[in-house]
Amino acid sequence: MNERKHTQGPEISAFLDGALAGKDRVRVDAHLAACPACRAESESLRQLKMTVRAAPRKRMPADLALALERRFVRSQPWWRANSRPAFWVPAGTMAAAALLAGFWMRSTGAADEVPLEPLLTAHARYSAEALVPEENLVASTYSDQLTALYANSSDAELE
């Protein structure tokens, strides 16, 4: 077979582990059946995996585990690590800036506030006026026109 079409070692390993699925598994299986070189590599990997799986497992010596823990794990409390000025000076500066910005925005925001009730009233009026034909719509006399139109009507007629 052509050297470029051989199945590579990682793909054979995935095949042996059952990690290939679908077309890839069928392709590798067919190639292993037809290619003696890849079949030999597959058998070699299978033997290696069985040897590693059968190897005895050893525990890490306790003194080595303690030495690694002492070297890489902090023994000081969490609050002591954050008690250095390198932590508190920038944090305090940011807190003070946020507090000042909040006070400044609160003091300037009161002058810019718009009362809500007039806006809601205007919205309701404009929504109602949108339903009226334009020739009858005169903003200052609209309510008077409606009153004149319905003044002589009884409640039964309006329903």
pLDDT at residue number 139: 57
Mind listing the pLDDT tens digit for each residue in 66-82?
A: 888 888 776 666 666 66
Alpha carbon separation from 61 to 34, 97, 98 (Å, rounded): 49, 53, 52
Q: Coil, strand or helix: which one is 91?
A: helix
Q: Which of 3-12, 45-54, 60-69, 98-107 is predicted with the least confidence, judged by mean pLDDT?
A: 3-12
The answer to whether 70 and 36 are in contact (CB under 8 A) is no
Q: How many CB atoms are closer than 10 A to CB 7?
A: 22
pLDDT at residue number 49: 86
DSSP string for 47-82 = HHHHHHHHSPP-PPPHHHHHHHHHHHS--S-HHHHT
pLDDT at residue number 99: 92
Q: Tell me the pLDDT band of 8, cut-offs 50, 70 and 90.
A: confident
**Which structure tokens are listed for 3?**
């050297």
- How big is the chain, counted in residues? 159
Mind listing the pLDDT tens digit for each residue in 21-69?
A: 888 888 888 888 888 888 888 888 888 888 888 888 888 888 988 888 8
The rounded percent of the chain whose pLDDT value lies above 90 is: 3
- Rounded CA-CA distance 104/106 in Å is 5
Q: Tell me the pLDDT band of 97, cut-offs 50, 70 and 90.
A: very high
The answer to whether 66 and 35 are in contact (CB under 8 A) is no
- The full set of domain ranges for the chain reads 3-54
